[in-house]
């Protein structure tokens, strides 16, 4: 089948490479003014992989949308609304959109599927593709599992069947709210894990995983999702790849932050921290780990002191 991928970063280029490897016809779109896309177009490669000559690259959004009925979006989450507006102005027929990205809109706290619904009101199908993976590992053929969730089971099942392979097992998910929130917030937990690494407190990652998962499940349930989703691939299942991997941008950003070093790559969890902090406040959901992350990143509080405050909170039953 023909598949369009919007984006030219690490994940977008990997999706193009992967789907081509399992015999799909692939077009990859990037912005004309993007140095990263122009380098990919000129050299047919980036620091991670090389793209086969049969993978078509274009900076024409109209051409990209006309190429396929299945549009995978893999860009920085804060740019989705702008792109969605642009797509809505040139769309001529119903499409299936797959959001292969993780985050919440910083200014509103809205999930990415909500942005798509707002900016592209015409008939369409929506799915989210999330879960644990690191491009560097996947390119070596390391087997992995991920999830594709949609409000329509037939859409999720069709995509799972089309995108699965011997190295990537995909599962069908029906809880879009839980999948999106879980995927977005695991990046925040990943930043905190990196802070623990920077403070030589890596042994606390186990506690962070347990308590963080519980916090996120409370938010998901409040928003109308299923709290059990957070214990699946979209969140807890992604912890190893995000909290421990040397390739994790969010973990590496957290560690660099503690060391007062500049981190050159995108860490989606940074903007998501601000978004979920205000979201939790508006819904009156207790999320002390998120509050600590926000205090460190945006209020310049001492990270070691904030972690101490988390650890010496009043003792109570674990699941109270």
Beta partners for residue 96, in sequence order: 70, 125
110 is catalytic: no
Which of the residues 95, 110, 186, 227 is marked catalytic? 186
CB 179 within 8 A of CB 147: yes
* CA atoms of 253 and 249, how far apart (whole Å): 6
Cβ-contact 158, 125 below 8 angstroms: no
3 state SS of 265: coil
- Helix locations, the chain, DSSP H: 10-21, 35-43, 61-67, 80-90, 112-119, 135-138, 153-163, 176-198, 205-223, 239, 249-258, 268-283, 288-298, 303-311
3-state secondary structure of 11: helix
Enzyme catalytic residues: 186
């Amino acid at each position: 089948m023909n598949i369009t991928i919007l984006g030219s970063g690490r994940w977008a280029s990997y999706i193009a490479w992967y789907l081509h490897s399992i015999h799909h016809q692939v077009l990859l779109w990037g912005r004309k003014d993007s140095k990263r896309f122009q380098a990919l177009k000129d050299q047919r490669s980036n620091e991670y992989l090389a793209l086969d000559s049969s993978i078509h690259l274009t900076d024409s959004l109209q051409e990209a949308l006309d190429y396929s009925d299945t549009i995978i979006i893999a860009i920085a989450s804060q740019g989705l609304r702008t792109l969605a507006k642009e797509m809505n102005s040139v769309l001529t027929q119903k499409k299936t959109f797959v959001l292969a990205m993780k985050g919440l809109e910083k200014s509103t706290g809205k999930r990415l599927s909500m942005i798509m619904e707002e900016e592209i009101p015409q008939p369409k199908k929506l799915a989210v593709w999330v879960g644990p993976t690191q491009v560097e590992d996947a390119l070596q053929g390391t087997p992995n599992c991920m999830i594709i969730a949609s409000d329509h089971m037939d859409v999720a099942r069709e995509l799972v069947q089309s995108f699965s392979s011997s190295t990537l097992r995909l599962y069908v998910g029906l809880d879009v709210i839980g999948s999106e929130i879980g995927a977005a917030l695991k990046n925040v937990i990943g930043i905190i894990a990196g802070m623990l690494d920077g403070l030589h407190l890596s042994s606390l990652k186990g506690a962070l995983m347990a308590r963080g998962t519980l916090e996120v499940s409370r938010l998901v349930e409040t928003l109308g999702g299923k709290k059990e989703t957070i214990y699946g691939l979209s969140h807890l299942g992604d912890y190893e790849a995000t909290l421990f991997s040397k390739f994790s941008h969010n973990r590496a950003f957290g560690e660099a932050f503690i060391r007062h070093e500049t981190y050159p790559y995108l860490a989606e969890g940074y903007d998501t921290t601000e978004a979920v902090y205000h979201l939790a406040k508006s819904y009156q959901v207790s999320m002390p780990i998120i509050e600590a992350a926000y205090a460190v990143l945006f209020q310049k509080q001492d990270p070691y002191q904030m972690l101490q405050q988390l650890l010496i909170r009043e003792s109570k039953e674990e699941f109270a």
